[in-house]
Amino acid sequence: MPVDPEFVPLVARSRELPELDFENTPVDVLLAQLRSTAPAVNAPRESPVSTEDREVAGPYRNIPLRIYTPPGTGPFPILVNFHGGGWVMGTLAMDDVRNLRMAEQAGCIIVSVDYCLAPEHRFPEPLEECYAVLEWAATRGAGINGDPSRLAVAGGSAGGNLATAAALLARDRKGPRLAFQLLFYPACSPDLTTLSYKENGSGYGLTTAAMGWFWKQYLPDGEQAGAYAAPLLASDLGGLPPALVFVAEYDPLRDEGIAYAERLRKAGVPTELQLCEGMLHGFLSSTPTARRSQEVIDAASKALQLALKYRRLPEGS
């Protein structure tokens, strides 16, 4: 279907902007240019959800968090969220609208992580910070009125990549048991040759050139992408938590999100895939109050509420 009418201005704006020279421009200059052209984040609406900013100890530094707590008595299920931004930018504020609405509708605490950014902090440092917060939620979640036995991860774009990788780490390290993974247009592979890159790699906001540059900033020079950097490359996806994967029609990352959902299904992981027709990459952060964005947030909230409604049983029960 055509681009959703509420997103047509974003498409027009992206096509009016001059192309960035990712090959010859210094990294600091490119970062400043990218941040200046990013769509403004909508101010959060009034909400009964309370928020608290705090820090927890991590492997490299104290990690900033924003905790969203719904009204009620609790203890509440816990969702650990990782923002997008190509691993090089992004802030806690970019997911505020989505997190406020989801915390209220799903009745869960959301712990949003302000992980360290590339290129100053390359793989695996951002992932290790995300995993450290996941462990903190599993062991200290009761201290924020949470129920660590009902624990999930979520993220969009680069944050979706970190959510999938954190779930893999939790499985492989025999760490926190997760009930659910909620992925919005996740970055799952550095392969820039898929059909969706060919169809949507320019003129729809996120470009092929930008995504290639993001991957180069995240992965250390000369390092081959493995499963924890690019989850689609994992040889085994069995034993991961059930997943809901949203992909956008006009998104270079569309096909890798679809491929990841299909790989999860083949591995026996209960997985639902939703194609958001007429939508662009990052639509939940760039335009979270648009009608279609709100519909996706509501659908995600319902799925999250169902997945976290019951406590997970211990192994062997």
Looking at the annotation, which residues are catalytic?
157, 251, 281
DSSP 120: T
List the structure tokens of 147. Answer: 């129920």
**3 vs 125: CA distance, rounded Å:** 36
Of the candidates 101, 98, 102, 131, the one whose C-alpha atom is nearest the C-alpha of residue 115 is 131
Query: Does the N-terminal peptide bond of residue 288 adopt cis geometry, omega within 30 degrees of 0?
Result: no
**229 vs 127: CA distance, rounded Å:** 8
Of the candidates 266, 296, 280, the one whose C-alpha atom is nearest the C-alpha of residue 203 is 280
User: What residue spans of 66-140 are helical by DSSP H?
Assistant: 96-106, 125-140
- Contacts of residue 203, defined as CB under 8 A and 6 or more positions apart, other chains included, come to 11, 14, 15
List the structure tokens of 231. Answer: 């989850």
DSSP 17: S
- Give me the amino acid identity at 231: P
Token pair 């290790």: residue? 128
Across the strands, what pairs with 246? 184, 274
Biggest alpha carbon–alpha carbon distance for the chain: 59
